Structure formats: structure tokens, C-alpha cells
Amino acid sequence: MRLRFLFLVGALSLLSACATDPDAPPSEPAQKPRPSRAAIHEVAAGETLYSIAWEAGHDYRDVAAWNKIPAPYTIRPGQRISLQPPAEVVQEKPKSEPAPAPAVKIYLVRRGDTLSRIAKQQRVKPGHLAAWNGLRKPYRLYPGQKLRLAAPGTETAATARKPERRPTDTKTTAKEPRKAPARPVASPRETARDPAPASAGTWSWPTRGNIIERFSANSARKGIDIGGQRGQAIMASAPGSVVYQGSGLRGYGQLIIIKHNEDFLSAYAHCQKIVVKEGESVKRGQKIAEMGSTGTDRNKLHFEIRYRGKPVDPLKHLPGKP
């Protein structure tokens, strides 16, 4: 009986050791979840880069940069468009073998960089940095963009690696010529919420009628609704070019998007009839559509203004009352 008891104790000890054996192969880890494809959009017939960016709430130039789509931003049905910036930007690494020094030092733009921040880090003047790279206001940058840190033709290979030295006191013996304004314009994320329309010119009301819905930054109301009659004329609120017309955006019905300049776009939704085509240039006050109720339950015009992809209150741009 004692021998049987000892045998059982030994067997249990052996099983316990096997269960906690550190040399035992680990179980297969759980499969990592696949990345969400919500940030990938497959282009459908009739869509444009502007309409895709509009629906996603992005600046069309950002979407173009993320997908390396050059102007005039031509896309094709079935093309896959990323609606978010690259996960990470890898800075260029020096080669293992020595190579000839470049004629000009290059800076690779990272996410969150601004012209003023880069200029401060590299000890150069923001205005000079903009001039050396042919940048114009508002000096938009995108991840992966390469910036030269010296004037073309003035830097040699021997001096390219040396950043401009910061003076030790406030007095200088000579002043550098100003090739561009020294005061940079803030990046899109640093600008005011409702900037002036600038070169878009004076805005005018797109139609006549009572305002039945107002803009709200804290809700889904990204524009204003103007009530009216079926077939009532809808006009371009500012001069520009038609970059989209169709019914591919959910909740907008028959829609027109007009590009006024590099920063401003406007949209005219729920149209009964559209009388302009994509690519057509329009003047302020020109008839572009007729009021209707497509995509909604009553005759009205839903009107939006977006500044660099962000909705702004149209009433802060339109004069007086309709």
C-alpha cells in the first residue's frame, strides 16, 4: 500500500513539472488584428479627389500629398485612396560607405513641422528658407517634403554641412539681404478658425430665402440651409472653377463643389437641376443650378464654405441678409 502511494506522488510531481516546463515550446500567439480599411477609399465612377476629400473632411492637398497624386489630381475608378497620413516618416540615413558631400544640405519634413519651427532649428531665417525652396504663402508643408537649407548656387560641398552660426550678441556687423518677407505665415493648424476670404473676393448670397438651419461647429451642421421654391435659381457665391457635380456624396443629393482659390471651396446641395459641368469656370452671381429637394425632405439649398478642408460659418463671409 505504501509503495502504491509513493508511486502516485511521483506521477503527480512529474505531471506538474511538465505543465510548468520552461523549455516547453510556447503556444502560438493570437493573431494580430488586421488594420482597419476605413481609412482606404476605393474610387467610384464620377468621384473626384475634391469630392472624396470633402466627404472625409480633409484638405484636398493633404489627400493628394498622402497618395502622391500631382496636380491636376486626376484619379480613376477602382483606385485606392488613403484618407490618412503615412503612419511614420523615415528620415534619410547616411550610406555606410563614404560618399561625396552634397552641394546643399537637405531637410526632410516631418509630421507637425512648420516653416518657422524648421528655420529656428536650422538657424536660418524663415523668409530665406521660403525663398530658397520657392515656397509661397501660406507656406504649406507635408511629411516627406525635402527642403534645401541654403540659397541655390551659393553653397559649396565643403560648407554645406555647416549650419548658419547663431550670433553670440545682438549686434551684427552686416545684415543679410532680405529675399523674402522674414515673417512666415502660420501653418494650417495654427490659423484662425474663420479667416477672411482673401483672394476669393467678395462673397455673395447663393440664393434668396430665409435661413432655416444655421452653422454649428459642435454638431453635424457644417453649413447653412436656405429655404425657397422648387426651380429657384442658385448662383455661384464667388468666382471659381467647378471641381465636382453629381450625387455621389451621401446626404447631399445633387451637389456642386466650386474651388475659389488654393484655400477656399464652396458647396451647393439638394439641387433639382445642375446647369454647369466639371472644369467649367464660373463668375460670382452666375446661375449654376436650380433649387430642389434631392437627398432631403423639402426644397432648400444647403450651402457650405470650407477653408483648407475645414467647414467655416458662411454667415461670417456673406454680406448682410439674402
Per-residue pLDDT of the chain (322 residues; tens, 9 = 90+): 555 555 555 555 544 444 444 444 444 444 444 444 458 888 888 889 899 988 888 889 899 999 999 988 999 989 999 988 887 444 445 555 554 544 457 888 887 888 888 888 888 888 888 887 778 777 778 787 888 888 776 554 444 444 444 444 444 444 444 444 444 344 444 334 445 544 345 899 999 999 999 998 777 789 999 999 999 999 999 999 999 999 989 899 999 999 999 899 999 999 999 999 999 999 999 999 999 999 999 999 999 999 999 999 999 999 876 6
Please say whether the beta carbons of 221 and 26 come within 8 A.
Answer: no
Closest to 210 (Cα-Cα) out of 282, 296, 142, 298: 298
Class of residue 183 by CB neighbours under 10 A (exposed 0-12, middle 13-18, buried 19+): exposed
- For residue 26, cis peptide bond before it (omega within 30 degrees of 0): no
pLDDT at 127: 83
* Phi, psi angles (nearest 5°) of residue 58: -115, 160
> Which domains, ranges and CATH numbers included, belong to the chain?
40-82 (3.10.350.10), 87-92+100-164+178-189 (3.10.350.10), 198-316 (2.70.70.10)
pLDDT at 153: 62
What the block records as the C-alpha cell of 46 is: 464620377
Tell me the sheet residues that pair with 42.
80
Say how far apart CA 317 and CA 193 lie, in whole Å.
12
